Amino acid sequence: MRAETRHSAVVDVIAREIVAGVQPVGSRLSLAALQERFEISRTVAREAMRVLESKGMVESSRRTGLTVQATRVWNVLDPQVIAWRLSGAGRAAQTESLTQLRLAIEPFAAGLAAVRGDDEQRATLVSLARTMRTCDEQGDQAGRTDADLDFHALLLEASGNEMFQALSGAFRTNLGDEAGAGQRRGQDRAAYIDLHERIARAVDLRQPASAFQTMSRLLAPDRGDVTSTGTGQQPDPPAGAPATSRP
């Protein structure tokens, strides 16, 4: 097995153990123990721990060696960290956290895309929504999922906000996981795709309020406590959200 493959395998095993609590917060990891357990060189063991340290999952010091860190200091937006958390017992909590984050960001991003998106981006969003529909009708689940992932990534890009764009990897991991698990937050596929088409249309027609509200419905159709005003109406965009088209 190549050193790079061994290194990745060690990272994956230890990360999953940390997420699962097999390696609890405060526990110590030694390079010597890792070498013996995985039959690897000290160099490979050190590189594996550097990866986990870069993600905030372990901390290295001369005095204590490698110490497992609490979740609060992890790089929780790292797509690989998200994938590890989704694969463990805390899957439901991780999914909920990601959905809440997306609900806070993506409606605003959709509104901005309707104002800032260029002609090519707007046309591509419409095309991706159409591709989702076509693939679904043809039973092409992989094609539908790919178009879905690209749709949301492009929406963040079209918002023109580089901090929104930086969340693309985290959101892609969440979407890909939901597609693999067959989860659509209570919606059937037809309704889910219809909302994508409506978002794309609103962005294309430069209707930011409609884009914002429809994205809110897409992300939280069953969360009246979050998306409803209590009157059965969708909420207005928050202060600062784009509400009118540019001239």
Residue 104 and residue 222 in one domain: yes
Report whether pLDDT(197) > 80. yes
> What's the chain's average pLDDT?
87
How many structural domains does the chain have? Answer: 2
Q: 46 in a domain, yes or no?
A: yes
Chain-centroid distance of CA 30 in Å reads 32
Question: Rounded CA gap, 160 and 137, in Å?
Answer: 33
Q: 239 in a domain, yes or no?
A: no
Report whether pLDDT(23) > 50. yes
Judge whether 216 and 234 are in contact, CB under 8 Å: yes
- Residues spanned by the domain of 24: 3-73
Residue 27 and residue 90 in one domain: no
Confidence of residue 243 (pLDDT cuts 50, 70, 90): low
Q: What digits encode the pLDDT tens for the residues 45-63?
A: 999 999 999 999 999 988 7
Select from 73, 89, 112 the last residue of a domain. Answer: 73
Paired tokens of 116 = 């800032």
Residue 63 and residue 83 in one domain: no
Confidence of residue 245 (pLDDT cuts 50, 70, 90): very low
Question: CA distances (Å), 158 to each of 106, 150, 154, in order?
Answer: 11, 12, 6
Which CATH number fits the domain that encloses residue 195?
Answer: 1.20.120.530
Is 181 or 81 the better-scoring residue by pLDDT?
A: 81
Q: 234 in a domain, yes or no?
A: no
Residue 85 and residue 158 in one domain: yes
Q: 237 in a domain, yes or no?
A: no
What pLDDT score was predicted for residue 175? 84
What pLDDT score was predicted for residue 225? 42
Residue 158 and residue 46 in one domain: no
Report whether pLDDT(237) > 70. no
Residue 8 and residue 53 in one domain: yes
Mean pLDDT over residues 138-157, rounded? 95
What pLDDT score was predicted for residue 224? 43
What pLDDT score was predicted for residue 5? 73
Question: CA distances (Å), 176 to each of 82, 166, 172, 223, in order?
Answer: 11, 17, 6, 22
Share of the chain above pLDDT 70, in %: 84
Placement of tokens 């699962």 in the chain = 20
Residue 32 and residue 53 in one domain: yes
Q: What share of the chain is helix, strand, coil (3-state, %, to 5)?
A: 65, 5, 30
Q: Which of 87-101, 115-129, 178-192 has the highest mean pLDDT?
A: 115-129
What pLDDT score was predicted for residue 179? 65
Report whether pLDDT(4) > 70. no
Task: Sheet with 65-68: list strands edge to edge.
Answer: 28-29, 65-68, 58-61
Q: What digits encode the pLDDT tens for the residues 202-232?
A: 999 999 999 999 999 999 865 544 444 333 3
234: which DSSP letter? P
Residue 9 and residue 104 in one domain: no
Mean pLDDT over residues 87-100, rounded? 89
Q: 155 in a domain, yes or no?
A: yes
Q: 241 in a domain, yes or no?
A: no
Chain-centroid distance of CA 60 in Å reads 28
Mean pLDDT over residues 18-44, rounded? 94
Residue 83 and residue 127 in one domain: yes
Residue 190 and residue 111 in one domain: yes
Judge whether 19 and 90 are in contact, CB under 8 Å: yes
Placement of tokens 């060696």 in the chain = 65
Residue 59 and residue 111 in one domain: no
Considering only 30-44, 80-94, 200-214, 227-241, which range has the smallest mean pLDDT? 227-241
Report whether pLDDT(188) > 90. no
Q: 163 in a domain, yes or no?
A: yes
Q: 245 in a domain, yes or no?
A: no
Instruction: Name residue 58's beta-bridge partners.
Output: 68
Helix, coil or strand: residue 233: coil
Select from 19, 43, 73 the last residue of a domain. Answer: 73
Share of the chain above pLDDT 90, in %: 72
Residue 48 and residue 142 in one domain: no
Confidence of residue 246 (pLDDT cuts 50, 70, 90): very low
